[in-house]
Chain A
C-alpha cells in the first residue's frame, strides 16, 4: 500500500493527500482518499451529490477537520494548529459556490482585507494589487460598489480576484458556477480558463464538463466518499473504465 503511494508521489506535488478518512459521527464521508496535485496541474473533481467532493477540498485548507490520514499543502502539514492553518490559508485560495463576499465591505475592501490584515502590507500598495487583479477578472470599474450591487457573475469574479490578491500557490474551487444563471456561467469560466492557462494550480469541483475537457489535466470521479476513477479528460469522457462513472456521465449529458 505505502509503496504504491510512494511510487506515485513525487517532489513536485504541491498538495499531497494520503489515506484520508473523514467521519461525520458514524457516517464515513471520505474513504481512504489519496491524491497528489503537481505544481501547475489542474484537477477537476466530479461525482454525484453527497459523494464527498466539497468535504475533500475543504480538508485541504482546514475548513473541515479530517479524521485520519495526512495532507501536505506546499510542504506544510494541514493539522488543526491555528497558526499552521493560517499559514496554509495564505498559500491556498478558495472560491465558494455562493461567493461569500463580505456584504458590508466594498469590492475593493473585500480584496484588500487579507492583504492589509494578514500580509500587513500598506493600504495604498494593497489597493494597487487589488486593482491589478480586478482588472484581470475584467471588473476594474466596480471597486467602490458593494457586492449586492453586482450581478452574480461579477460577484464570483470579485471573489476570484479576492483570492488571487494573496498570490496563492493553489486555488480551490467548490462548484463556482452552480449558483449562477446560465448567461453568467460563461464569464466566470472564461476567467478560470485564463487562470489555468497562466499556470495556476487548480483543484476544482465542477460539473461543467466543457471546462473540464478543455483545461483539466486529470478528472477525478468520486462516489460515496471514495475516488472511483482518475483519468485524463480524453480517456474519462471517451472511455470511462467504471460503470459508475459512465452512468454519471450519461446522466449529466441527458
Chain B
C-alpha cells in the first residue's frame, strides 16, 4: 500500500472527525457562553453551582468521561449513541475552557461600560447583550480559535468508543498493513493539514483585532 493509499484511507474518516467537531461546537459554544455569563453576572449559590458544573467538565479526563458516558450510563438505563456521547463530552469539556475565556473577557472590560449602560436606563440584560458581550466576544476570538484547534486534536479519542474517524482508520490501516509507522505518520500529517490553517486564521484574526484596538473598529 502506497503512502497515498494510506492517506486516502485515513481521509475516509474525515467526515466523522468533522461531524464530531461540529456537533461538539453545537454543545460547547452555547455552554461556554451561558456558563461564562452566569459566572460573570450571578453571585452566591447560583455562581457556585455554575462553577461546579464548569469545573466538572473542565477538570475530568476526557477519555474517562467518554468511557463512563458510553459504557456506564447504559447500566443506569440511559443509552446514548457513540456520536452523541463524543459530541457531548468533547463539547462540554472544551466549553468549560471556553466559559473561562468568556468570563475573563467580560471581567476585563472597563467597568465604566457597564455603568454607562445602566446610567442611560438600559436593563442589566440589555447592557450585557448590547454593550458588554459584543466587546468581550471580539476579545475572545483568538482564544476560541485556539480552543477549536484543541477540539480537533481531541477528537482523536473518539475512536476509542467505536467511531470511525481518521484515527480509527489509521489504526485499521496499521493493523492491515503491519506498517504502523506510515499509518501514524500519515495521521500526524493529516491533523497538521487540518489544524495549521486554523492556526493561521487565529493569528490573522488576532492581528486584525490588535489593529482594531488601536483604530477602534473592525
Contacts and interface: CB of A to CB of B under 8 A. Distances in A.
Interface residues of A, number: 29
A149 interface: yes
B112 A148 contact: no
A100 B121 contact: no
Interface in B193-218: 214-217
Contact of A163 (B120, B124, B134): B120
Interface stretch (A34-42, A86-94, A183-191, A217-225): A86-94
B149 to A, nearest CB: 26
A23 interface: no
A102 B131 contact: yes
A63 B113 contact: no
B153 interface: no
B115 to A, nearest CB: 6
A61 B119 contact: yes
A82 B118 CA distance: 10
Contacts, number: 69
B121 A89 contact: yes
Interface stretch (A113-121, A126-134, A196-204): A113-121
Contact of B112 (A62, A82, A98): A98
Contacts of A47: none
B51 interface: no
Nearest to A147: B216
A117 B119 CA distance: 13
Interface in B163-218: 214-217
B119 A166 contact: no
Nearest to A110: B116
B49 interface: no
Contact of A146 (B120, B121, B217): B217
A94 B119 contact: yes
Given A63-B115, A102-B131, A104-B134, A114 B120 contact: yes
B135 interface: yes
Contacts of B8: none
A129 B118 CA distance: 21
B134 to A, nearest CB: 5
A37 B166 CA distance: 73
A63 B119 contact: yes
Contacts of A61: 119
Given A100-B113, A113-B130, A118 B120 contact: yes
Nearest to B134: A104
A146 B216 contact: yes
Interface residues of B, number: 22
Contact of B121 (A63, A104, A149, A166): A166
Contact of A162 (B120, B131, B138, B217): B120
Interface string B79-115: 0000000000000000000000000000000101101
A138 to B, nearest CB: 21
Which of A85, A86, A104 has most chain B Cβ within 10 Å? A104
Contact of A96 (B115, B121, B215): B115
Contacts of B115: 63, 96, 100
Contacts of B130: 113, 117
Nearest to A85: B118
B124 A82 contact: yes
A90 B216 contact: no
Interface string A36-76: 00000000000000000000000001110000000000000
A230 B112 CA distance: 30
B123 interface: yes
A114 B126 CA distance: 10
A122 interface: no
A91 to B, nearest CB: 9
Interface of A: 61-63, 82, 85-87, 89-90, 93-94, 96, 98, 100-104, 113-114, 117-118, 146-149, 162-163, 166
9 contacts: A63-B119, A89-B118, A89-B119, A90-B121, A94-B116, A102-B131, A103-B135, A117-B122, A148-B217
Sort A-B residue pairs by CB-CB distance and give the 3 closest, nearest first. A148-B216, A100-B116, A100-B112
Interface of B: 110, 112-113, 115-116, 118-124, 126, 130-131, 134-135, 138, 214-217
